[in-house]
A and B are shown apart, each in its own frame.
Chain A
């Protein structure tokens, strides 16, 4: 099983600031099959990024993904008030697993 470790656990930022979230895999994802999701309290997760860097339909350009191998990053260029949430990475290079999440708080 591929274990995904997200850091930091919590990121405290202000609207307008840049957020950089990390996701590290326990073994290399040969196919860059990594997705990012956003989850707000009481809601289902929403797909943001797939294939490490491709934005899902309707996702604003301020969200971007990068990385390969074992190290992946989600960047939110300028935080909007509605962006504060918990973010999860997920690999699908093998049987799917999720990271533990990063909470982005005001």
Chain B
């Protein structure tokens, strides 16, 4: 079974950094692009960015709202994707989901983790 398990969330002060991890199993991680999506309390879904597979350069693309502050990376040897969050703001408070890109070039998401909550507060 495909599984994605996020970790690393919690309480963080504004301006600080946090790194989220997404441990995966049940599929060949290196063959897939991975994305991060967040959901603020009581709100809808917001795509944050994705990382392509190494086959396609392992390059990244980000939403304008987080570009320059958030960085996505991957460790194919461990089947883990990461979301590095820098200079966090109170607006970054949300549940953060790791997702698998269902196709190479089309950014829709066929598997989701259970999410890890991040609260940004002093």
Alpha-carbon distance between A45 and B46 when the two chains are bound, in angstroms: 12
Where chain A touches its partner, the secondary structure class is loop
- Decide if B44 touches A95 in the complex (CB within 8 Å): no
Given contacts A47-B102, A47-B108, A88 and B115 within 8 Å (CB-CB): no
* Chain B min CB distance to A47 (Å): 5
Complex interface: stretch among A11-19, A68-76, A96-104: A96-104
Select from chain B the residue with minimum beta-carbon distance to A56.
B110
Select from chain B the residue with minimum beta-carbon distance to A4.
B44
List, in ascending order, chain B residues with CB within 8 A of A88's CB.
Answer: 44-45
Identify the A interface with B (CB < 8 A). Answer: 1, 33, 35, 37, 43-47, 50-51, 56-57, 88, 90, 92, 95-101
Known: A35-B108, A88-B45, A95-B47. 7 other contacts (CB 8 A): A44-B112, A44-B113, A44-B114, A47-B102, A90-B108, A98-B47, A101-B44
